[in-house]
Chain A
Amino acid sequence: MPTFTVTNFLQTLVTSVSMGSLYALIALGYTMVYGILKFINFAHSDVVVLGAWFSYVFAVKTLPAMGIPPDQATWWAGGLVLIMAMAACAAIGFVIERAAYKPMRKAPRLNVLITAIGISLLLQNTGQLNFVFGARPAGMPALVPTTPWSIGGTGEPGSFGVKINPVDVIITLTAVALMVALQVLVYRTKLGSAMRAVSHSIPNAALMGINVNFVISFTFVLGAALAAAAGFLYAIKYNLQQTAHPSWVMLGLTAFVAAVVGGIGNIRGAVLGAYLIAAVQQFGSLYISSELRDVYVFAVLIAVLLLKPEGLLGKVTREKV
């Protein structure tokens, strides 16, 4: 175990915030769909992967076609790639809900869960096809400056300094901006109150004149767009593995754990859970062992399920028999 230094601590805090932001964007999609349809959309993490790969394709194909070399991309070119990836995944989210989940609306929840796993496998393997994204890893163009900013640190013993990668700042700012926008949408608009009404009771929401199918589609579109944003941000930070790589599964699973820890179905809970999980993961890696980084995630999950099964911000609900 390394000795405690302020530098280590702050550096790990920066990483935690950046990773937590990514987990939060993904966790929101799980929790919103659960909030409304009471099932876990296991294909959600695959939409993240598609978002990352779409970003790659848009950055290396579409940007040059527009006359922008990816290595000289300006911030708005990066923003354009982000928006295109979000739009593409939103469309996919819409199609998945309409084609796969809507016909199962009245089926037992287990059947829907199995359908979700099927969609997950379908997306992973379709992505690997040669005429789609192929079965090789890819190097994503950075799109943002890569020279880290040094804060503090004179080099003298005892002084502390932190290096911050611009990409971590961009990840955090983009994620926070999207989460604030979502918060405003859900809690301050008419459509948002319709979403909350549908999540409380579909039949009673319909009696208000709410088009329930529209609200459900919209929720999937929103979740998929946020997943795509997470995929984009993940891509500009890391290189891309092929779509069926286990590391993607772990990314999605960690975000799912974050949603459960925060209280599945609760939007603010998902964000809280995501930052908590990221901090536990990063600080555990720093002070105990980085080999156990996934173990900490599930240890937190087990602890929360034992002590507060409804999650940190979740409400106790009685299962109707």
Chain B
Amino acid sequence: MIPKIKRRQMLDMLSSGLRVDGRGLEDLRPVEIKCRSVNNAEGSAEVRLGKTLAIAGVKTSIGTPFADTPDMGVLIVNAEFLPIASPSFEPGPPDENAIELARVIDRGLRRSEMIDLRQLCILPGKAVWELWVDIHALNHDGNLMDTSALAAVAALLTSEVPKAMVNEKGEVIVNKNEKQKLPIKCIPITITVAKIGDKLLVDPCLDEEEVADVFLTATFVDDKVCTIQKRGEKGLTEEETLKCLRVAQRKARELLKIVKEVIGYG
């Protein structure tokens, strides 16, 4: 019942162009990116979007490649919505929301070819680097999707992996003293647009998320879209869909600029 009253109130405000936190419809909340705070991880990043906070860490191990891609490294993305982040999160294995989030981010990283997985091959068919990207929500105030995606990207951008070589006997040797950056090809940026009534708003906060009809999340790379996920139990017209994507594309350019400034890539 509360969401219904909230929704009515929010629709009233939106009709006069106001959002609950005073932002414009296409404004992102302030972005904060803090990298390398986890010493034991190969890479890490804490990302804040307004009051939403997520942390991502990258760990590596040497494993065997998948049979259909014998010369490519392995990328695994996992997300946990910890009870520390919200009164509505419960301990236990990832629920459908956490699984969806991890899979959408995984597709974004994979399809943008952010990391040249071929360069993570040590011995074709035998040994490759496995990259484990673990994302943990720490404070949920809406749009965990974009916050987590950015955390994952920032963590990968700042990761340093030990050098691995193959000796004469064909054994894999890891030199932990010599580290190198991951083979980064580009930076994918994920933006979520929410629809409330007939209004489209970027980067929904929790209050907005609770009353929104539908969400469209898109990941962009070089101005092209590489992942889309429509979420929520309502529909969108074709016109609304394309409008969402155009807005997301614009915002992705803006966020990319921020990421490049903070991390100093490119």
The answer to whether A and B come from one shared complex is no
A contacts, CB < 8 Å to B? none
